[in-house]
């Protein structure tokens, strides 16, 4: 199989998207991506992210490919977990406290900076609407985060998220309670759960 065919096959198997990091990992020169773009067989949608011409760009995957330390959080995480109907106007991501977010902010991404162990707490993988896996905080961690005063989350968004969560078969109330204890929002979570459960 020719290198071009290998790259296109990788994109096909990855829902029409290929990242330069994937090519490098496979031992293929990144110059081959430019060749495929020049021939119209791939489109560059962001630095290091390419899609097949007949595929819609997955913005979640593109952003995560550029900012690997960023974890989708807040209302963006609620959307990815189907705990809200509101499509995020701006993406929300959380980064380690030492991360330089000046470039990220230029893309209108809402950035939170968090120290360990809170940054790593509850990180998991979730599927985007275009079927790519991205790093996101778990439902339980997100439900705790949106209750913090600095999150400034609309009360209707919070109520809807909790209503949807308690109806889910994959909810984990024990984990939610544990995260609430660690993040200091036990009393607020108890108020929501007592009404809904």
DSSP state of 26: T
Quote the distance between the C-alpha of residue 68 and its chain's center: 10
**pLDDT reported for residue 3:** 85
Dihedral, 60, 64, 67, 70 alpha carbons, nearest 10: 90
Domain boundaries, the chain: 3-57, 61-196
Please tell me whether the peptide bond between 117 and the residue prior to it is cis, using omega within 30 degrees of 0. yes
pTM of the model: 0.84
Condensed to tens digits (0 to 9), the pLDDT of residues 116-154 reads 999 999 999 999 998 999 999 999 999 999 998 887 889
Number of Cβ within 10 Å of residue 1's Cβ equals 7
Condensed to tens digits (0 to 9), the pLDDT of residues 55-94 reads 888 999 999 988 999 999 999 999 999 999 988 889 999 9
CATH of domain 3-57: 1.10.10.10
Q: Which of 109, 115, 105 is nearest to 72 (CA)?
A: 109
Is the pLDDT reported for residue 114 higher than 90? Answer: yes
């Amino acid at each position: 199989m020719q290198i071009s065919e290998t790259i296109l096959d990788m994109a096909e198997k990855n829902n029409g998207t290929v990242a330069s990091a994937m090519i490098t990992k496979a031992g293929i020169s990144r110059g081959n991506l430019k060749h495929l773009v020049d021939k119209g067989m791939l489109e560059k949608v962001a630095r290091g992210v390419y899609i097949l011409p007949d595929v819609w760009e997955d913005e979640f995957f593109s952003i995560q490919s550029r900012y690997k330390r960023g974890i989708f959080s807040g209302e963006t995480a609620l959307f990815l977990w189907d705990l809200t109907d509101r499509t995020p106007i701006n993406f929300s991501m959380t980064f380690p406290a030492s991360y330089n977010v000046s470039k990220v902010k230029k893309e209108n991404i809402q950035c939170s900076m968090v120290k360990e162990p809170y940054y790593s707490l509850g990180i998991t993988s979730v599927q985007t609407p275009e079927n790519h896996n991205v790093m996101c905080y778990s439902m339980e961690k997100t439900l705790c985060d949106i209750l913090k005063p600095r999150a400034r989350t609309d009360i209707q968004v919070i109520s809807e998220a909790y209503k949807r969560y308690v109806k889910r078969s994959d909810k984990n109330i024990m984990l939610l309670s544990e995260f609430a204890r660690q993040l200091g929002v036990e009393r607020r979570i108890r108020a929501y759960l007592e009404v809904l459960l």
